[in-house]
Amino acid sequence: MPDYNLHTKIEFLKGVGPQRADLLKTELGIFTFGDLLLHYPFRYVDKTQFHKIRDITTEGATVQLKGVIRRLDTAGGGRKMRLVAKFKDDTGYIDLVFFKGISWVQKKLVPGVEYVVYGKVSQFGRNFNIVHPELEPVTAANLQEVSSLQPVYPTTGKLDGKGLDTKGIRKLQKILNNRLKEIDLPETLPAYLLEKMRIPGRKQAMLDIHFPKDFAVLQQAQNRLKFEELFFLQLRLLQIRSRRKNAIKGHVFETVGEHFTRFYNEKLEFELTGAQKRVVKEIRNDMGHGKHMNRLLQGDVGSGKTVVGLLCMLLALDNGFQACLMAPTEILAQQHYISITESLKGLGIQVGFLSGSVKGKKRKQLLQFLQEGIIQILIGTHALIEDWVEFENLGLAIIDEQHRFGVAQRASLWKKGRVSPPHVLVMTATPIPRTLAMTAYGDLDVSVIDELPPGRKNVETLHKNETNRMRVFGFMREQIKAGRQVYVVYPLIEESEAEAFEDLNNLMAGYEAISKDFPPPEYQISIVHGRMKPADKDFEMQRFVKGETQIMVATTVIEVGVNVPNASLMVIENTERFGLSQLHQLRGRVGRGSDQAYCILMSSFKLSHDARTRIETMCRTNNGFEIAEVDMNLRGPGNIEGTQQSGIVNLRMADLAKDGRILQTARELAARIIEDDSEFDKPIHAPLKAYMATVGKAKGWSRIS
């Protein structure tokens, strides 16, 4: 007998062969026995119960019946021809109707033989029938298999054509299931964890996930596999964090000196919120004890992250180091530069700005001053990570809207420290659901500003459709008359040239309609979209920022980066085409001043269930974290902004939107193990060591953020 194991090539499984193997590899990524084992069902058909024909009372119900075919008849002609099988159990009759493959079905079905029938009930006149049901002859061998929870597997059209539909894959899984009895499937979890969690061993869970006896057994198997998946993810992330903290010594910022103190006492025009104070304390604790900081700071739009970042930069200066802040766009970097320069006026601190547009003598002098330490704070775009940018002594690097930078870009900034890496603070205004933060950023320390500054008013959000267009225009006039400014945002997606062209036409048509209702010279309108040249785009944006125009008609290019406190109204067109996170980010562009701000969501009458949920959520709450949770439930974690490069989108069994409690338990247990035995050297942790070695070493980039 061949020596099979989980690494055995899939072509050697009975029923596969070279042709089917090639399809399984290209269509589903199944190369080995182990890959097939990890191809989990996505749902189960409950065939554990048999129904009686007399109990069928409603159309649309899915039923399983056991009985005998009494006779076969054909009816109709040509394309309308159908085969009708009279099916009887001990309570009555029902018709089984076939429109396709009539001659094949006729040969297969034998009157007088007992069958198990499974399908959805339809109603024709007063009578019920089942169209194209599944049928199996009743035999002692198959009755047990038929009357069970049957797995349904992901498959493709090409696989269907080779007999590898869900039924075909089920047969392969059955063959593999029988082989598992001969295959060594090592346990990955320590015995004490299995006992503590009351979950089955790995081999049993693998058998039961494919062919569970009942729902209780299925639940046990799912819990085991979900826990294992999330536990090892957390174990890896926490081990990375532990190794980083042990291997890398951080700069010690033990002094709270003149820069920090003068700014706090003389320049800070408002009291920090409790959340801001808590976060500053967490960061000071990191940087003050020689621990290398790698921290994620998340806070909703307007929660005051920039002030916290500035205080941290001043701590770096007080301890003889430079600091930098990198933003994803030139306009956002410029706004940081302007606001920080204004905030530090009179304190004698040299702040520099660097982007791709800074050239020639100006760039040369800036780089020289940076190298000599004359420039203490550098603010800019990804130009900061270019090789020719050298700091005298960089101690703190802040990355704003970090999900817009790739890991490699962040790594380049990390290398800018002359002796050792700078402390890293990554900031995001895109609220991240708690379960996602524990996975996508599980190797980082996380700080959350979950409190808005006092006096900040929530943006009032309303949903309107085309019948309210004139009233919306009237409201825009009121806001402009009161001295305010207005955004009107259109979707512009780049999925195809045709769609981009159509969207651009919609934007231009909207611009023309607004221009007619808001004519010059009384009204001035800016227009911005992604197809414009950068210089033209910046010119139009700056006109709006300076108050030279009252209305900005734009695509989502204004989502991040424009800070206009005077803008009090955001009108979003075709709201149903925006994601929830994007809508929340857009709404965050207004309400930055002391006046009441408004967001009007314009949509068509016909809305999908998801679109309606998004709009209702926006109208109900301004809480970004609550919105992020709803967004994850709707779209799944893999589609949330910034997670595509995190490596968590490949979870096979666990669902971050639903399995938060399992994740929390997995993280707590993983944290205890890492604290006690971070390299798994204790004999009791031998299964962990063996499994982690097979997973492979994580890339060095994961040390960064």
Residue 313 tokens read as 């930069």
Beta bridge partners of 380: 326, 354
Distance separating alpha carbons of residues 538 and 692, to the nearest angstrom: 50
Helix, strand or coil, per DSSP, at residue 33:
helix
CA 17 to chain centre: 38
Distance separating alpha carbons of residues 500 and 601, to the nearest angstrom: 22
Q: Residue 178's pLDDT band (boundaries 50, 70, 90)?
A: confident
| Mean pLDDT of all residues in 622-640 | 79
CATH of domain 62-147: 2.40.50.140
Distance separating alpha carbons of residues 425 and 444, to the nearest angstrom: 10
Helix, strand or coil, per DSSP, at residue 704:
coil
Give the pTM. 0.72
CATH of domain 258-449: 3.40.50.300
- pLDDT, residue 95, reads 92
- Kindly tell me if the per-residue pLDDT of 536 is higher than 90: no
Q: Over the stretch 651-692, which tens digit does the pLDDT of each residue have?
A: 889 888 888 899 999 999 999 999 999 999 999 999 999 998
Nearest 5°: CA angle at 308, between 358 and 324? 30
Q: Residue 103's pLDDT band (boundaries 50, 70, 90)?
A: confident
Tell me the pLDDT of the chain averaged across its residues.
Answer: 86
Q: Residue 704's pLDDT band (boundaries 50, 70, 90)?
A: very low
- Kindly tell me if the per-residue pLDDT of 550 is higher than 90: yes
Task: Give the homologous superfamily in CATH for domain 460-621.
Answer: P-loop containing nucleotide triphosphate hydrolases (3.40.50.300)
Distance separating alpha carbons of residues 420 and 251, to the nearest angstrom: 8
- pLDDT, residue 144, reads 61
So where are the chain's domains?
1-48+149-184, 62-147, 200-247+669-705, 258-449, 460-621
3-state helix vs strand vs coil in the chain, percent to 5: 45, 20, 35
Radius of gyration of the chain (CA): 32
- Kindly tell me if the per-residue pLDDT of 175 is higher than 90: yes
Which is more confident, 181 or 340? 340
Fold match, 258-449 / 460-621: yes
| Mean pLDDT of all residues in 266-274 | 87
Of the candidates 589, 539, 587, 582, which has an alpha carbon nearest to the alpha carbon of residue 566?
Answer: 589
